[in-house]
Structure 1
């Protein structure tokens, strides 16, 4: 009696994987199943990084992608196996007519999902034959959408890496970005804003579609968006609140893109540090001859950014960096 009801959990597993597959592969966000897999794995990787160093975090992306694909395949495989095992006599040997045992069922589901169609086992009745067709179709869908899941992830990660390298070469740290823009850019701070506006907007759209990329980290600091975005946001805060000069046009739109990126980050990582990072060091800006507002005015302005700067600090520290790397 209980065996005949195994199709219920089997169908539940199949449908759950399909919904998660569609949610992740059609770029509508991170599926619930994927999130359940990623969060504990990410916590394990973070713990390993504290023991072995931040370079191990560079494996996060591979671990997340492989674990997602394995979960989709194994849960679908198990689901279809439960469906067929729940029908005694649904499968028999093609040449002997002997009813399939549990291992035969697992074998049959595996090669049917992979669309190999070996044929040494066969379904008995029309209903089971139709379910065999659905199993093969589900395997084809799984393979197809797995590819459509991996390709955008790889493209977005490459885009992140490219943007991080641009920010690094424009100055890298918060103070370095401001000094370089002021002295070396043809259009000053306005040029910095203009150069990065479109890239930030594109990155915002991509990460809304694949927010799980906030769990991917790079090996090299100059390629890490987790270091580049805090440095850029802090630099824009310095331009807006510390420089005694009119703010560049379009600054508000760029800050809005960064705010949206941070909002997506907070949906992935629910906890941020309890304390904001220290107030920025203005000495490098003074040494470079930049016009600055009074210290008290700057401190008062940055006090209003405490929640935002806590999130920026969280982004850098989760990737294994210290705040001093943002403002070095």
Structure 2
């Protein structure tokens, strides 16, 4: 029975580590617990009356919630591993009084100390397998801290790339180039660079899906509001006479199609055409799509 309880704790630890792995290093379209938490917070914010003020907090708050969920699951999992073997399999420092506390409380305390890599030494494993398991928890705690810092440092550059593309599209919309103006070498270069940026954003949504739940600020920096105009530019380019302009316009249209597919598969589930997906994307972010 003791080993069944410990195995339950090990299962909790594996659930947390699997979710961490798939969120940070091997994202899948099916997501995991972290994506469910983020999606739930996003939907909840969308139903609040003060959506504009609340939605900007969803992304950072969701990341904090997910990291807290990982930490609590790992701590509780290791505490459950230790619990059936407490206090017989452990040595307590003289005068600490820890052995007089409830066994579950001692187990949670030891788990907290180990995952934080404090190494206080007031509770020490006495059995051989625990002497191996306890340092392993400290190693997992270090991995969790490193992964959290890396996650924060990696997500914000993806938001910057998305906002740069959005502002660029907003400026182009303000200029409103015609087919004639795009029908030149500069137009081909412009459409090609836009296609490259769209591909980068598509990869960001694949690798860092949590970026979807970050608010982009004003309309001119919101990709949800401006991405529809990129479709209009691709259509203008495909009507040009120059072959290189038509080619880069086709590349831009293909990149937009791929982006719409990722958005629809992972977040929106409209099963519609790219224009419908981009309209749903704008609506989900509380934006009015930029017209042609």
Moved more, 202-211 or 250-259: 202-211
1:270-281 matches, cutoff 5 A: 270-272=268-270
**In the alignment, structure 1 residue 160 sits paired with structure 2 residue 162:** yes
**In the alignment, structure 1 residue 26 sits paired with structure 2 residue 25:** yes
In the alignment, what sits opposite 1:268? 266
Q: Secondary structure at the match of 1:122?
A: strand
In the alignment, what sits opposite 1:98? 99
In the alignment, what sits opposite 1:283? none
Q: CA deviation at 1:239?
A: 4.6
Kept in 2: contact 1:217–1:319 (CA 8 A): yes
In the alignment, what sits opposite 2:219? 221
In the alignment, what sits opposite 2:172? 170
In the alignment, what sits opposite 2:288? 322
Superposition TM-score, scaled by structure 2 size: 0.86
Contiguous gaps of at least 5 residues in structure 1: 274-305
Q: 2:109 aligns with which of 107, 110, 114?
A: 107
RMSD (Å), alpha carbons: 2.7
Give distance in 2, aligned partners of 1:232 and 1:144: 38
1:60-209 matches, cutoff 5 A: 60-89=58-87, 90-96=89-95, 98=99, 101-171=103-173, 177-179=176-178, 183=181, 187=185, 189-209=187-207
Q: Paired residues, what number?
A: 285
Structure number with the higher helix fraction is: 2
Q: CA deviation at 1:317?
A: 0.6
Q: CA deviation at 1:261?
A: 1.2
Q: CA deviation at 1:186?
A: 7.2
Give distance in 1, aligned partners of 2:4 and 2:100: 19
Q: CA deviation at 1:46?
A: 1.4
Contiguous gaps of at least 5 residues in structure 2: none
In the alignment, what sits opposite 1:38? 38
1:4-23 matches, cutoff 5 A: 4-23=3-22
C-alpha distance after superposition, 1:264-302 (max 9, x if no partner)? 1112224339xxxxxxxxxxxxxxxxxxxxxxxxxxxxx
Superposition TM-score, scaled by structure 1 size: 0.77
Q: Secondary structure at the match of 2:253?
A: helix
Q: 1:239 to 1:184 in 2, by over 3 A?
A: closer
